[in-house]
Amino acid sequence: MHAYAEWRLGADNREGVPVAIFQIMCMTCHDMSAAADNDGSPQQTWALDHTGSNPHHRGFKLMTETYWRVEPGRGNPYQEVES
């Protein structure tokens, strides 16, 4: 016998979970900015300052972490257990 249940995947909006964490890496020397929650502005400033100190370092890779969560869908027995 097999049973199927609906599950939903989406952004993890629970309290304390960041919307995103941002970090940027110089593609020339692989130096990296600090990571910051929910705001990419510090990484932009870091990249501009890094290029200001190293004029030939102009390429960067932005890394963004987001958090996702699977929740029981309608009719899933776990939905009632977690309520």
Per-residue model confidence as pLDDT tens for the chain (83 residues): 667 889 999 999 999 999 999 999 999 999 999 999 999 999 999 999 999 999 999 999 999 999 999 999 988 988 876 65
Which tokens is 22 given? 């941002």
pTM: 0.76
Reduced to 3 states (helix: H, G, I; strand: E, B; else coil), residue 52 is: helix
